[in-house]
Amino acid sequence: MPRIDDASTAELPPAVESVVAPLLQALHASEVLFALYDPQDMLRYANAAFEAQFLRGLALPAHFTDVLRHGGTGGFGVKIDSGDVEAFLRDILPRRRSRPFRAFQTDLVDGGWLWMTETLLPDGWLLSVAGDISSLKHAEHTLRAAHESALEASRTDVLTGTPNRRHILELGRAALAQAQQLGQPFTIAVIDLDHFKRINDSEGHHSGDDVLRHFAEHCLRQVRPGDGLGRVGGEEFLLLLPGASWNMGATVVRRLRHTLPPASRQAGGSLRYTFSTGLAQADAGEDLDTLMQRADRALYAAKQRGRNCSMVNIAGVLTVA
């Protein structure tokens, strides 16, 4: 039978009593959790589902706070992330009985979720009803994870694991706007692997893929925290250097060049390669597209100079970095 405080019952007219008995039996058998609290917040009635989730041996009547303390001590019921039941009570009690109807979700120690409602009657009695929404929450988490995975895939270059062209340009625009707002320098480096077509033609596309992965991994190990690297297409990469002047950016690129080891190939052995770089520091009010065009001209100049070097575009003037 359902848990009910006998002291709270009163004699009922026969017609009403004939309805109450089957109603209590139905509530007892229901998988929905039902509980009834008196005006002093003493739990006077709990059906079997509520008892199994929150009482587990606690005798009625029991104050609402004691129900939560009992679960906290026994390791069941409402999940309290901090583990501090008293702090949890201080947080939630001001909201309890604050309005005639409340609805909220709560997670449980066993990993389940409940959608709970509290109906406060004019005389102070409070009816608590809860339904299990665990399957819905798990489905929601699965959908969210799938969405985040798809979003990440849409932003990531499959081969190198770095941001793809669209995403690195989005990051670049955001970083440039922030640097301009803070009055800080902002430099980019457009990097192109030298004679990459020759590598693909002579060594095979698998070796070319090995080189691209190798270069991305090398850069990510060497660049500063907060710098950004993305593959913008083919053998070309974009390096974002927020807070760096062009000469600081040139220092970063020199470190990349001087520490670049040969790439290991899946087929065995290693392969040496080089890269060319065009650098540009943002002028006041300059957008990323214009900045990229200046860096591209510097990259072209580096290739014309013989590759395996860096050039910088300073206000339209190209010079060795």
Q: Which two tokens stand for residue 85?
A: 């039941």
- Given a cut of 50, is residue 248 above it in pLDDT? yes
- Given a cut of 70, is residue 67 above it in pLDDT? yes
- Given a cut of 60, is residue 250 above it in pLDDT? yes
- Given a cut of 60, is residue 178 above it in pLDDT? yes
Confidence of residue 5 (pLDDT cuts 50, 70, 90): low
pLDDT top residue among 232 and 136: 232
What does the pLDDT read at residue 9?
47
User: Do the Cβ atoms of 158 and 167 come closer than 8 Å?
Assistant: no
11 among known catalytic residues: no
User: How far apart are the C-alpha atoms of 124 and 30, rounded to whole Å?
Assistant: 25
Q: Which two tokens stand for residue 125?
A: 């009695």
What does the pLDDT read at residue 266?
72
User: What domains, with CATH codes, occur in the chain?
Assistant: 3-137 (3.30.450.20), 156-320 (3.30.70.270)
Q: Which residues contact 229 (CB under 8 A, 6 or more apart)?
A: 162, 163, 168, 216, 219, 220, 223, 237, 238, 239, 240
What does the pLDDT read at residue 7?
44
- Given a cut of 90, is residue 127 above it in pLDDT? yes
What does the pLDDT read at residue 10?
53
If we measure between CA atoms, which residue out of 105, 68, 95, 106 comes closest to residue 84? 68
The helix/strand/coil state of 235 is coil
With b for 16 or more beta-carbon neighbours within 10 A and e for fewer, the 281-305 pattern comes to: bbeeeeebeebbebbbbbbbbbeee
If we measure between CA atoms, which residue out of 138, 131, 118 comes closest to residue 49? 131
What is the overall mean pLDDT for the chain?
Answer: 90
Per-residue pLDDT tens digits for 74-123:
999 999 988 899 999 999 999 999 999 999 999 999 999 999 999 999 99
User: How far apart are the C-alpha atoms of 288 and 268, rounded to whole Å?
Assistant: 41
pTM over 0.75? The answer is no
If we measure between CA atoms, which residue out of 74, 139, 129, 122 comes closest to residue 106? 129
Confidence of residue 138 (pLDDT cuts 50, 70, 90): confident
User: Do the Cβ atoms of 118 and 128 come closer than 8 Å?
Assistant: yes
User: How far apart are the C-alpha atoms of 22 and 223, rounded to whole Å?
Assistant: 73
- Given a cut of 60, is residue 252 above it in pLDDT? yes
CB-count burial class (<10 Å; 0-12, 13-18, 19+) for 49: buried
Return the residue matching tokens 């991305």: 216
User: How far apart are the C-alpha atoms of 320 and 152, rounded to whole Å?
Assistant: 37
What does the pLDDT read at residue 62?
95
State how far Cα 237 lies from the chain centre: 26
- Given a cut of 90, is residue 187 above it in pLDDT? yes
Identity of the amino acid at 125: W
**Tell me, what DSSP letter sits at residue 99?**
S
If we measure between CA atoms, which residue out of 260, 245, 244, 243 comes closest to residue 191? 260
If we measure between CA atoms, which residue out of 44, 187, 53, 37 comes closest to residue 118? 37
Catalytic residue among 217, 235, 236, 286: 235
- Given a cut of 90, is residue 4 above it in pLDDT? no
**H or E segment and range at residue 132:** strand 126-132
Residue 187 bridge partners (DSSP) = 241, 281
Confidence of residue 1 (pLDDT cuts 50, 70, 90): very low
